[in-house]
Structure 1
């Protein structure tokens, strides 16, 4: 059994080293492996990282038990397998599972900004661009903004995103139109966005 233990120990370290050095290159291969494992419907109980760690721990425990414990072959293999399985499960529960859950996308499309309110961090000059702060879910984002009507809007003004243009620039209008024009028509707001008559 010692050759098997050494093979698992050295092989596990080699796979880990290869993943560290050329991990980006092998990412597609591991994704394919994940896809194959999902096709087997093993659920979340199996992942390549935990498996490599389990095999490495099996080999290391086997080498140590063979060298120092003086056990018979069957108990030695049983303890080494137990150490490998427990180590793989602990790694999966403590590290892999939380990392998979943190990878859940919190992304959103720029088109989702339409209708959101925000505040200008940088004023929008007439015919120019500024910056608007908009909250999207738990995120606070800074986006390029332009005036929907073409009129200047000062810094700190509460605005609504009327539309998003093809370049991803947010076209905004002030929420309180009385401060910027005598009538909503001068500001250029659609009737549904007028906050005061």
Structure 2
């Protein structure tokens, strides 16, 4: 039984190292062949951690306790399950949820406040700077109300038509500053 534990310990460590070092290379080489196996809990880090803990716990229970072989196996499996759950909920899942994208859709810009950077004529195009996420983006814009809007005017995006923001001057109420 001890040989199985040692094999799991070293196999888990080897699997973790290989998946960390070659994970992207293998993934792109296989071109998504194994994507159907992508269940959240069956993450390589969770699997490798469970196998490694099973082997390590089995070795420790065998060498440092006087329990029967069945008890070693049971406690090793329970240890592997507990550590796998902790790794999944403590590391893997929070890291999946923390992935942020700086991308946005132009349709999301409707209702946003911006500032005119290149004056908008009554008929024609200018440029508006809109804050998106942590940065600002400049977009081609036209006046929704067909009014001249000078540089520096605060505007609200009414809609987006063929990549052009249609904006209207923002009328601020007294006390809103």
With the length of structure 2 as denominator, give the TM-score of the two structures: 0.70
8 Å CA contact 2:149, 2:169 repeated in 1:
no
Q: Cα deviations across residues 70-111 of structure 1 (Å, max 9, x unaligned)?
A: 433222222211211111122222223333444598975212
| 1:88 match: secondary structure | helix
Distance 2:18 2:36 in 1: 17
Q: How many residues align?
A: 159
Gaps of 5+ in 1: 38-43, 177-197
Query: 126, 139, 145: which is aligned to 2:139?
Result: 145
Q: Where does residue 85 of structure 2 map in the other structure?
A: 89
Distance 1:107 1:165 in 2: 19
Q: Which has the higher helix share?
A: 1
Distance 1:143 1:106 in 2: 11
CA RMSD of aligned residues (A): 3.1
Matches within 5 A, 1:25-44: 25-27=25-27, 28=32, 31-34=35-38
Distance 2:66 2:36 in 1: 42
Gaps of 5+ in 2: 172-177
Q: Where does residue 132 of structure 1 map in the other structure?
A: 130
Larger RCO, structure (CA 8 Å, separation 6 or more): 2
Distance 1:94 1:51 in 2: 15
